[in-house]
């Protein structure tokens, strides 16, 4: 099996989880290529003829396609099957769905693996290749329970980026703001920020939290042509020296920078004489963007949200979860696996009171862990890929 991934800058921990799962499977002999490294094309040209399966992991297209595109013609000429995952299945300024679709057509995959529900995956990719739903899972080696909930000092903890209004969906921001405001007044220690950890640090942080709060990933406004995002960017990009969000040369440079330098560069580009198209939205209020572009816009005809790796990470560490009402790929059940926060936050007081019941939180977190360990580890997901091949 030949596995392609892109390693650059700051990485999501699930990138490593997928690689670890494939490397460690007893039935697989895995060869890897980091397509963001120098000489990747030459490596692919040498190894591709001997491959019996090619897997493209999420990182090859999650927030860029410029590492994958130069390899597309080679991959299209392969003599074996190819399964491509897709990362960030939402319409983003710098990683539009339309660009991913264009390059995937060039690659000609035999299957496309979606994190979304299968119906949503078919909506985005079904005209390119057959779609199979393979959501994220738990890496039990990396995310383990090391502290009892009663011994953890943070009542509600979260490390997450805020959603941009260009997605037309601010559920994550609403929930973060709500618990940050009402939690301390209820006597709870709330710790929420956008600070990022590596995988080890993230697992340690979760082990310090009695609960974490979250929403599903995704958006209600999925589009194959990115029309809404394009309209928003056109309205607010302004005049002057504006670097487009799809600028490959700029983004190649930014990808190589440490995270702190990337943040400084993005701040400068949002204010200086040279501006980055996506950062121009930071000058506009979320409410203005939502009212102008999304209030009367049609939502996608499918359920566009999904469970994320962060939900499984919390389950692995035994951290109880407060989750906004949703489907979570029909894996997690409210009242059994998590405390459900209604969409209008009307049961917020009840949820905050339940946070004081450590026995309840222990019961929920253990139930969720037992379920996930029995059906939803990365080893289970790799077996799903093998079953697909055999079928």
List residues bridging with 159 in a β-sheet: 193
Q: Would the pTM count as exceeding 0.85?
A: yes
Chain CA centroid to CA 78, Å: 29
Other Cβ atoms closer than 10 A to 257:
15
State how far the Cα of 339 lies from the Cα of 60, in Å rounded to an integer: 35
Task: Confirm if 250 and 243 have CB atoms less than 8 A apart.
Answer: yes
pLDDT in tens, the chain (391 residues): 999 999 886 667 888 999 999 999 988 999 999 999 999 999 999 999 999 999 999 999 998 999 999 999 999 999 999 999 999 999 998 889 999 999 999 999 999 999 999 999 999 999 999 999 999 999 999 999 999 999 999 999 999 988 889 899 889 999 999 999 999 999 999 999 988 888 999 999 999 999 999 999 999 999 999 999 999 988 887 644 455 555 555 556 565 666 566 666 656 555 555 555 555 676 788 899 999 999 999 999 999 999 999 999 999 999 999 999 999 999 999 999 999 999 999 999 999 999 999 999 999 999 999 999 999 999 999 999 999 998 8
What is d(CA 150, CA 291) in angstroms, rounded to the nearest whole number? 44
- What token pair was written down for 134? 């393979």
Beta strands 81-85 and 131-133 are: unpaired
- Please give the structure tokens belonging to residue 209: 């939290």
Look up residue 320 and give its two tokens.
């109880």
Residues 57, 28: contact at Cβ < 8 Å? no
**Cα(116)–Cα(118) distance, integer angstroms:** 6
Per DSSP, helices labelled H in the chain are: 13-24, 40-47, 72-76, 97-107, 118-125, 171-185, 199-206, 227-236, 248-255, 259-271, 286-289, 309-316, 348-354, 358-375, 378-390
Q: Which residues contact 127 (CB under 8 A, 6 or more apart)?
A: none
| pLDDT reported for residue 14 | 86
What are the contacts of 387-390 at 24+ separation with CB within 8 A? 388/83, 388/111, 388/132, 389/53, 389/81
């Amino acid at each position: 099996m030949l596995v392609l991934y892109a390693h650059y800058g700051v990485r999501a921990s699930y990138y490593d989880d997928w690689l670890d799962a494939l490397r460690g499977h007893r039935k697989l002999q895995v060869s890897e290529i980091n397509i963001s490294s120098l000489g990747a094309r030459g490596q692919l040209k040498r190894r591709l003829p001997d491959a019996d399966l090619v897997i493209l992991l999420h990182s090859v297209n999650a927030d860029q396609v410029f590492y994958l595109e130069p390899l597309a013609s080679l991959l299209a000429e392969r003599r074996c099957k190819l399964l491509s995952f897709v990362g960030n299945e939402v319409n983003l300024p710098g990683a539009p769905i339309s660009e991913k679709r264009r390059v995937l057509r060039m690659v000609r995959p035999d299957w496309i693996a979606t994190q979304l529900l299968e119906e949503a995956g078919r909506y985005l990719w079904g005209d390119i290749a057959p779609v199979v739903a393979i959501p994220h899972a738990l890496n039990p080696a990396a995310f383990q329970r090391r502290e009892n909930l009663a011994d953890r000092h943070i009542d509600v903890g979260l490390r997450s980026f805020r959603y941009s209004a260009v997605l037309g969906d601010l559920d994550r921001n609403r929930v973060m703001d709500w618990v940050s405001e009402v939690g301390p007044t209820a006597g709870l220690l709330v710790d929420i920020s956008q600070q990022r950890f590596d995988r080890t640090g993230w697992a340690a942080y979760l082990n310090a939290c009695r609960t974490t709060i979250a929403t599903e990933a995704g958006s209600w406004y999925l589009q194959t042509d990115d029309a809404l995002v394009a309209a928003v960017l056109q309205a607010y990009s302004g005049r002057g020296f504006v670097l487009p969000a799809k600028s490959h040369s700029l983004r190649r440079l930014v990808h190589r920078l440490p995270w702190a330098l990337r943040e400084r560069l993005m701040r400068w580009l949002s204010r200086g004489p040279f501006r980055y198209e996506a950062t121009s939205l930071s000058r506009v209020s979320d409410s203005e963007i939502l009212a102008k572009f999304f209030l009367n816009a049609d939502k996608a005809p499918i359920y566009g949200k999904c469970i994320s790796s962060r939900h499984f990470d919390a389950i692995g560490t035994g951290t109880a979860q407060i989750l906004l009402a949703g489907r979570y790929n029909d894996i997690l059940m409210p009242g059994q696996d998590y405390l459900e926060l209604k969409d209008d936050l009307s049961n917020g007081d009840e949820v905050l009171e339940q946070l004081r019941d450590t026995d309840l939180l222990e019961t929920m977190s253990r139930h969720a862990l037992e379920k996930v360990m029995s059906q939803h580890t990365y080893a289970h997901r790799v077996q799903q890929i093998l079953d697909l091949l055999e079928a």
